[in-house]
Structure 1
Amino acid sequence: MSTTTESTEAKRRGAFSSRRVFIFAAIGSAVGLGNIWRFPYVAYENGGGAFMIPYLIALLTAGIPFLYLDYAMGHRTRGSAPLAFRRISKRTEWLGWWQVGICFVIAVYYAVIIAWSLKYTIFSFDKKWGSDPESYFFGDFLQASDIADGLTLDVVPGVMVPLVLTWIAVIVIMALGVQKGIGATSVVFIPVLIVAFVALVVRALFLPGAIEGLDTLFTPNWEALSHAGVWAAAYGQIFFSLSIGFGIMITYSSYVNRKTDMTGSGAVVGFANSSFELLCGIGVFSALGFMAQAQGVAVDEVATDGIGLAFVAFPAIINEAPAGALIGVLFFASLILAGITSLVSIIEVVISAVRDKFEMHRLSATLVVTLPAAVVSLFFFSTSTAIFVLDTADKFINSFGILLVAVVSMLVLAWVVRTLPAFADHLNEYGTVPVRGWWIVLISSITPLGLTVVLVKEFIDTVKEPYEGYPDWLLYSAGWGLAAAVIVLGILASVVRWRPDTPLTVPPADIGEEVER
């Protein structure tokens, strides 16, 4: 491919200026809220120190191999998720749009958690939540209504204002493009995030009771390794935290130079993400150890995850800890930085797909995608029932969206269109980590089998007992209905014609050269 054609294609779709920027962007996508508030509790609940064994095995046998699959697809086909699948086979395009739908849903509710973190960063200075953080969060701040009374759309101004600011920031970043927006944001935010969280961990380690917290987290329960659920939790955590399986890494790798070492980059991203999760575990459980000592209870009585950890447990810690305001600012600022870098990667999947399908300019595609997303986000998630809708949507779109499309994608690519050998050859061309038969075996058999076990367990548990005891109307609309809707919309979107000049039938062996950036 000529240099002129390469330059033209780069200008049309955008590109990262270097491998370093790509790695920062990929790490920024992978390092998100799940690292900070999900991993520590998952590790604690599933064997403590012993959990690191299945976690590491899951990283090596599922996380990094699937990351390589995403990289191979995007880097070789030079397209967004739907275009990448379409260039592989007309029969697989709907899988790409399924991933786009998942990303749109996640973006809509992910933004509100960043908005909450923005307000709580400010609240940390004077501990506005008072002596009862739980009552303040659900009552004064969210003004949460009783979900049993039905869906209410009463606007909560304290949430709406920071949510508007969050979407403005995201729209500006996305409008600036791949390098000046996403790349530049990641290059700045990720180092700042690491510095902020290291400072938080150092401060937490010197709190009274921190050692007890770390003992609780890392004391190994070897017997737990005999439980299938522990291994399922390890594989689920790896997929949730690495941003794989739902189009992000396909999209990002399509913006990288043809001669980039993708396997070496993937190894860096995978281990960087896991290292940050370990750092989060140390920081969070040091703080929980202090909280347990201050309240005169065992650490397991205060250990929690998710929203409860961030907006209830940590404010309680801040109330008691020396220099609590500093801990609060560092913690909630870390949530903002991690959240923004993840959110821009999620929404980029949708923007890139729209640009490829309809040949739109960057700004036009950004507005077409982000403005409706912002409106839906504000309409549903700045209201008094937002917390319940968010919790339900997050549970179902992750379990029966991300994991399910990942399993289906692997099986289709391995056994229907049989493209794994070509992907392996592509990765080996410039990769420093050789991809051999072991990778094909993992992607075609072992990894989908492991994820299927996770899915079946999730499905049985969810059917057996309604999630969080929520009413059926909520579970069937924001839960099962939403998970099914993104599949249906994916199929319908694949029927829409591509722009006339989009090359869709390029021979697989020539794809990389045809549209090299």
Structure 2
Amino acid sequence: MARTARSEAVPEREQWSGQFGFIMAAVGSAVGLGNIWRFPGVAYESGGGAFLIPYLVALLTAGIPILFLDYAIGHRFRGSAPLALRRLGGRLGEGIGWFQVVICALIALYYTGVLAWAGSYFVFSFGEKWGDDTLGFFTGEYLQVSDGAERPFTLDFVPAVLIPLVLMWVVTLVILGAGVVKGVQRANVIIIPLLVIGFLALVVRSLFLPGALDGLDAFFTPDFAALADPGVWIAAYSQIFFSLSVAFGIMITYASYRRRRSNMTGAGLVVAFGNSSFEILAGIGVFSAIGFLAHQQGIGVDDVEGLTGPILAFVTFPAIVSEMPGGGLMGALFFGALTLAGLTSLISIIEVVIAAIRDKFGLTRGQSVAAIGVIAALSIVLLGTTSGLIALDTIDQWTNNIGIVASAIITTIVVIWIKRRGGELARHLSAVSTFKVGTLWVLFTGVVAPIVLFYMVVEKVRDLITGGYEGYATWYLGVAGWGSIVLALLGAIILPLVTWRNDPDRFDEWPSKEQLRVTKGALL
């Protein structure tokens, strides 16, 4: 059993400088690798232009409601995921918070590896180092990938990956060490405009390539028959859910750094629709370029392989760059955008861990950042070897498709149904924001979203149990895949038993429950 925490309250939190700083940081978290390499392929394979219908429905009925839920929890209860959820739901809530923190730590292990690859390819672009065989270069000469069935884990280090991996960790930790405003906010305020300008330049150039219109036609032509397929709707909810950075502590943490009097839902709408706009922009740019590749090879867009994930980014797109005039610049724009988008997302992921251990153990920011060195070391061992791609692929499958989805389901059920705090949180958002929420928001958050997400996670678990994954060894999937979920569960059980450095329950809610009952207008 834990000893009684010290009587001092948890110290006041750092704060964003204002609305703009928060929006830039939240957009930086939401706009990540999935916007560029996942959305275009998912949309194309799920009905083309018709996919925008379930995508919009998913955004309105699950994405924005759960985003608002994270904002409400973080802003009202003023803490990292474990602290805010403890103040809302006691030790049960704290356990959910630690589950989210461990999931973030696991994601950080492999996410930095992708940044290292993108940074390397940014440099490779200027000489088109990948040559004519882009797949052979990526998996062979560059990553030196081991056999996933025979040798899923090795300690054969690859210097070409190891060096940029270390550099990415150094850059990320330096930014985080500088603090919320001078580090996280400043980095996002600089990076997000650069990302948008660079990617817009890439899209404009792609639109004027031969065959670009064929690519856009393939991307936007609606297949309305696909809407009868439940899998298309699940794909839409999945894309929205993963791209908004909800349900794994990020937006709870970021919202806790907002001032008491802050417009939460207005900012949330900007973040949600800004994220979706960037995804559509990415689809236009990617499929314009794919149309060009198909034109150059004399094949149809349907015949182009590798339209999503790392293969799109590190195999298909280099092949496109090699075919176009001035391709080196296009490659630099693409991989520069990929690096910047991934960096801002990684910063937000690790900030979840830093905020949690600061709150729990009373550490300074510097001490917390130093503690992240443990994750960095594990990341280097996992991703800097010939088995790095296999580790990334496996941990990503389990943490994203099971861990995060399960976290969302449990959080919504505990907050809305077990602790019955939905009405209070709705009134809190309405009291401090210009855009009001009420019963409909509680319905979407507590009923629609968990039902859809439960179906998603059951289907994924069934698929992984019966079919395995990518032919990888069963023992390896048990350790790296299911082991990741077990580790998060252990964190949820054990860490709430550890003594808090300061008393987490000494806290005054604002607006108070009495104020929420009598307030009709906003408290801005």
SS of residue matched to 2:470: helix
Aligned to 1:3: none
Give, in whole Å, the separation in 1 of the partners of 2:434 and 2:462.
Answer: 42
1:502 Cα deviation after fit: 3.4
Instruction: Tell me which residue corresponds to 2:6.
Output: none
> 8 Å contact 1:137–1:312 — kept in the other structure?
yes
In structure 1, runs of 5+ residues without a counterpart are 1-8
| Aligned positions of 1:497-508 closer than 5 A | 497-504=499-506
Q: Measured at CA, do residues 108 and 351 of structure 1 come closer, stay the same or move farther in structure 2, by a change above 3 Å?
A: same
Alignment partner of 2:474 out of 461, 469, 472: 472
* Aligned counterparts, 1:30-179, within 5 A: 30-90=30-90, 91-150=92-151, 151-179=153-181
**Counterparts of 2:296 and 2:282 in 1: how far apart (Å)?**
21
Alignment of 1:69-468 (within 5 A): 69-90=69-90, 91-150=92-151, 151-303=153-305, 304-369=307-372, 371-468=373-470
Query: Partners of 2:130 and 2:406 in 1: how far apart?
Result: 39
Distance 1:316 1:507 in 2: 56
Equivalent in the alignment of 1:29: 29
Q: What amino acid is aligned across from residue 277 of structure 2 in structure 1?
A: S
Q: Distance in 2 between matches of 1:312 and 1:190?
A: 26
Amino acid at match of 1:15: Q
Q: Find the residue that maps to 2:156 and give its secondary structure.
A: coil
* Deviation at residue 302 of structure 1 after TM alignment: 1.5
Q: Distance in 1 between matches of 2:76 and 2:309?
A: 37
Q: Is the 8 A contact 1:77 1:511 kept in 2?
A: no
Alpha-carbon deviation of 1:235?
0.4
TM-superposition CA deviations, 1:410-429 (whole Å, max 9, x none): 01111111111110110001
**2 CA distance for matches of 1:237 and 1:153?**
34
Match of residue 4 from structure 1: none
Partner amino acid, structure 1, of 2:376: A
- CA distance in structure 2 between the partners assigned to 1:512 and 1:199 by the alignment: 52
SS of residue paired to 2:166: helix
The amino acid across from 2:167 in the alignment is: L
CA distance in 1, matches of 2:10, 2:476: 44
Provide Cα deviations, 1:242-278, integer angstroms capped at 9, x if missing partner: 0000000000000001111101010000000000000
**Does the aligned pair in 1 maintain the 2:362–2:502 contact within 8 Å?**
no
Q: Give the residue type in structure 2 aligned to 1:362.
A: R
Contact 1:64 1:266 in 2 (8 A): yes
8 Å CA contact 1:88–1:508 kept in 2: the answer is no
Distance in structure 2 (CA, Å) of the matches to 1:254 and 1:511: 19
After TM superposition, give the deviation of residue 49 of structure 1 in Å: 0.3
Q: Which stretch of the first structure deviates more once superposed, 450-459 or 307-316?
A: 450-459
How far is 1:456 from its partner? 1.9
Query: 2:520 corresponds to which residue?
Result: none
| Partner secondary structure for residue 148 of structure 1 | coil
Following superposition, the deviation at residue 148 of structure 1 comes to 2.3
Paired with 2:341 and 2:514, the residues of 1 have a C-alpha distance of 32
In the TM superposition, residue 509 of structure 1 has moved relative to its aligned partner by 6.2
For the Cα contact (< 8 Å) 1:78–1:512, is it kept in 2?
Answer: no
Number of residue pairs aligned between Structure 1 and Structure 2: 505
Contact 1:86 1:504 in 2 (8 A): no
Query: What displacement does 1:149 show?
Result: 2.4
Q: Show CA shifts across 1:106-130 (max 9, x none).
A: 0111001001111100100011011
| One-letter amino acid of the structure 1 residue matched with residue 123 of structure 2 | I
How far apart, CA to CA, are the structure 1 residues paired with 2:66 and 2:131? 45
Q: Which stretch shows the higher mean deviation, 19-28 or 474-483? A: 474-483
Alignment-derived partner of residue 491 in structure 2: 489
Query: TM-score of the superposition, structure 2-length normalised?
Result: 0.94
Compute the displacement of 1:77 (Å).
0.3
Distance in structure 2 (CA, Å) of the matches to 1:500 and 1:276: 41
Deviation at 1:505, TM superposition (A): 6.7
Question: Structure 1, residues 417-459: CA drift from partner, whole Å, max 9, x if none?
Answer: 1111110110001211110110011111111111112112222
Give the letter for the 1:38 counterpart: R
Report Cα offsets for 1:190-247 as digits up to 9, x if no partner: 0000000000000111111110101111110001101111000000000110000000
Deviation at 1:510? 3.7
Per-residue CA deviation, residues 466-495 of structure 1 (Å, 9 max, x unaligned), is 111211012111111212221122211111
- Tell me the alpha carbon deviations over residues 81-128 of structure 1, each in whole angstroms, 9 at most, x when there is no partner: 000111012222100000000000001110010011111001000110
Q: CA 1:325–1:512 in 2, change beyond 3 Å: closer, same or farther? A: farther
Q: Counterpart amino acid of 1:412?
A: V
Tell me the secondary structure at the aligned position of residue 132 of structure 2: coil
Which has the larger helix fraction? 1
Residues 200 and 330 in structure 1, CA contact (< 8 A), matched pair in contact too = yes
Which ranges of structure 2 fall in alignment gaps of 5 or more residues?
A: 1-8, 516-524
Following the alignment from structure 1 to structure 2, what is the Cα–Cα distance between the partners of residues 263 and 509?
A: 16
CA distance in 2, matches of 1:249, 1:410: 15
Partner Cα distance (2:513, 2:119) in 1: 44
Q: How does the TM-score come out when normalised to structure 1?
A: 0.95
Of all paired residues, the percent bearing the same amino acid is 50
Whether the 8 Å contact between 2:119 and 2:335 is mirrored in structure 1 is yes
Distance 1:466 1:295 in 2: 35
Q: What secondary structure is seen at the aligned counterpart in 2 of 1:126?
A: coil
Change (3 A) 1:46 1:504: farther
Residue 87 of structure 2 contacts residue 504 of structure 2 at CA under 8 Å; is this kept in 1? Answer: no
CA contact (8 A) 1:77 1:512 kept: no
User: C-alpha distance in 2, partners of 1:512/1:37?
Assistant: 48
Specify the SS of the correspondent of 1:434: coil
Q: Which residue of 1 aligns with 2:518?
A: none
Aligned equivalents of 1:290, 1:70: Cα separation in 2: 41
Paired with 1:309 and 1:409, the residues of 2 have a C-alpha distance of: 34
Change (3 A) 1:18 1:212: same
Residues 148 and 471 of structure 2 are in contact (CA less than 8 Å); yes or no, is this contact kept in structure 1? no
TM-superposed CA distance for 1:497, in Å, is 1.3
Separation in structure 2 between the aligned mates of residue 11 and residue 87 of structure 1, nearest angstrom: 15
Residues 114-171 of structure 1 deviation map (CA, whole Å, 9 limit, x = unaligned): 0111110010001101110100111100011112222211000000000110000011
Contact 1:48 1:218 in 2 (8 A): yes
CA distance in 1, matches of 2:131, 2:201: 25
